[in-house]
Amino acid sequence: MAEQRWDQGGGREAREESQVVGTRWGRRVLPEEVRAWEELVATARRTVADGLVVGTSGNVSLRVGDTVLVTPSGVPYDRLTPDDVTGVDLDGRQVLGTLVPTSELPMHLAVHRTTDARAVVHTHAVHATAVSTLVTELPAIHYMTEALGGPVRVAPYATYGSDELAENMLQALTDRSACLLQNHGTMAYGATLDQAYDRTAQLEWMCRLWLTASSVPGLSPSLLSAEQLREVGEKLRGYGQRG
């Protein structure tokens, strides 16, 4: 096995050759999968550090070719090492690692199979989860609603890890890049882990904003109209640096 080491800051010194991980699944881990696993673990740790996850309550996935790397079930993220690479194919068959994949694998695979997502982040963020118990759609409290594709829907409740929950989530994600899961949390995807994470953080912030504004006695927050959101959508298409 190629020797791997992460320092305390989450960095890695990695040989470029492939490594064999574990004994249960014999496929060699490709160099790009080694790098992707490091990125995935760093993002998972960030969800805890930023208060979006408590313990092991969320999960993260990153697609590399036809393999989906996922956080394992019930393992604190600060204990994950380079030898813990966990991966499945798009049908859910484990092809890398000895640790059991996240119990929310059906949701992750549903996103990877039906969208152009490369990365998926699921959290139990407190404000977003609170909103999921109150409404069927997050009111358009801020123009960044449009950055997620439009008003964020709430997927109806179903037992965690179930195919029913995965199907409910897909319906809520139609033409959106994030959704709320009723009495459960958030789901967001992107072309990169940074994008998926940023969308998750943005959704939690908007939920906190709406809860804060809604808590003022005798007043109701103003909301943006569909036309106002359309105008924002036009501006967002030209936002950022042009390379």
Residues classed as catalytic: 104
Read out DSSP for 183-230? TTEEEEEESSHHHHHHHHHHHHHHHHHHHHHHTSTT-------HHHHH
3-class state of residue 77 by DSSP: helix
* Ordered alpha helix ranges (H), 53-192: 105-114, 126-132, 163-172
* Long-range Cβ contacts of 21-26 (<8 Å, 24+ apart): 21/83, 21/84, 21/85, 21/96, 21/97, 21/98, 22/83, 22/97, 22/98, 23/98, 24/97, 24/98, 25/94, 25/95, 25/96, 25/97, 25/98
Query: How is residue 160 written in tokens?
Result: 């965690």
